Structure 1
Amino acid sequence: MKKKEVPQDESSLNKVNSKELCYAVDEDGNYTTELSSGWDPKKIALDNALEDIEKRVEEARLRVLAGTTSPIEYYMELCKMDLTILASYVGFFKWTVKRHFKPSVFQKLSNKKLAKYADVFDITIEELQNGPS
């Protein structure tokens, strides 16, 4: 695409004043870079992904409030992580993290284990124990 044709559509990236680097052809036919604020197909895909994340966070929050999962699952979703990533960050096996999702197991976790989760989520142990509101 030519440098003048690089899309500058409104996108979700505008919310964070971010631009994306794209390759384009200049007037002399040479490849160069140009900043783009986004384009509609990418905006739609990004908005759909963000909407899906918000939905998963809310579902996890409701499960915590209902007492069917621990706050660890909620904060994992809130921080846009999955089980594999969270397990690697805290240094536990995936099955161990999944076990910590059980409220009865979560309530018995040591402060040392809770501190690992709190550090990864960038919250205090108290915030982790209290969960979402």
Structure 2
Amino acid sequence: MKQDEVPQDEGNLSKKNVRELLYATDKDGNYTTALSTGWEPKSIALSNSLEVINERIEEAKNDFKAGKSSPIPYFMELAKMDLPILASYVGMWQWRVKRHFKPSVFAKLNDKILSRYAEAFDITTSELKHFKAD
């Protein structure tokens, strides 16, 4: 795309006074960079993905409240992680992390393991242990 054709649509980025760096061609046909405040299709896709993430966060919160899961899935979703990413952050096998999703198993975890999760979620061990989902 040409430098003067870089999209400047109102979107999620423009609301936060953030601009995205894109590559474009100048009047001589050479590649250069240009700043964009947004592009409507990209803004729609971003909004849709954030909506899905918020639904997953709410579902994880409801599962915790219902006693179906530990707080780990909630904080995992809140941090926009998936099981493989969380497992790599805490240095455990995926099956082991998934096992910690069970409330009965979570209740037996020691502080050393809980601190690994807390560090991955950027919260305190106490916040993880005493999460209420209010």
Superposition TM-score tier, normalisation by shorter sequence = over 0.9
**Matched AA of 2:42:** K
**Other-structure match for 1:27:** 27
Any residues of structure 2 matched to 1:99-118 within 5 Å, and which? 99-118=99-118
Runs of 5+ unmatched residues, structure 2 = none
**Other-structure match for 1:52:** 52
**Other-structure match for 1:95:** 95
Once the two structures are TM-superposed, the CA of residue 97 in structure 1 deviates from its matched residue by: 0.4
TM-score by length of 2: 0.94
1:8 aligns with 2:8: yes
Any residues of structure 2 matched to 1:53-132 within 5 Å, and which? 53-131=53-131, 132=133
Question: 1:82-126, CA deviations, whole angstroms, 9 ceiling, x for partnerless residues?
Answer: 000000000111000000000000000001100110111111111
Question: 1:23-68, CA deviations, whole angstroms, 9 ceiling, x for partnerless residues?
Answer: 1122233221101111011011111111110110010001011110
**Range that drifts further, 61-70 or 29-38:** 29-38
Once the two structures are TM-superposed, the CA of residue 15 in structure 1 deviates from its matched residue by: 4.1
Once the two structures are TM-superposed, the CA of residue 14 in structure 1 deviates from its matched residue by: 2.8
Distance in 1 between residues matched to 2:113 and 2:26, nearest whole Å: 55
Distance in 1 between residues matched to 2:81 and 2:15, nearest whole Å: 22
**Range that drifts further, 112-121 or 122-131:** 122-131
Distance in 1 between residues matched to 2:122 and 2:105, nearest whole Å: 22
Distance in 2 between residues matched to 1:116 and 1:33, nearest whole Å: 41
Distance in 1 between residues matched to 2:15 and 2:79, nearest whole Å: 19
Aligned-residue sequence identity (percent) comes to 62
Distance in 1 between residues matched to 2:47 and 2:66, nearest whole Å: 29
Distance in 2 between residues matched to 1:29 and 1:12, nearest whole Å: 30
**Matched AA of 1:115:** S
**Range that drifts further, 30-39 or 13-22:** 13-22
Runs of 5+ unmatched residues, structure 1 = none
**Cα gap change, 1:58 to 1:123, in 2 (>3 Å):** same
TM-score by length of 1: 0.94
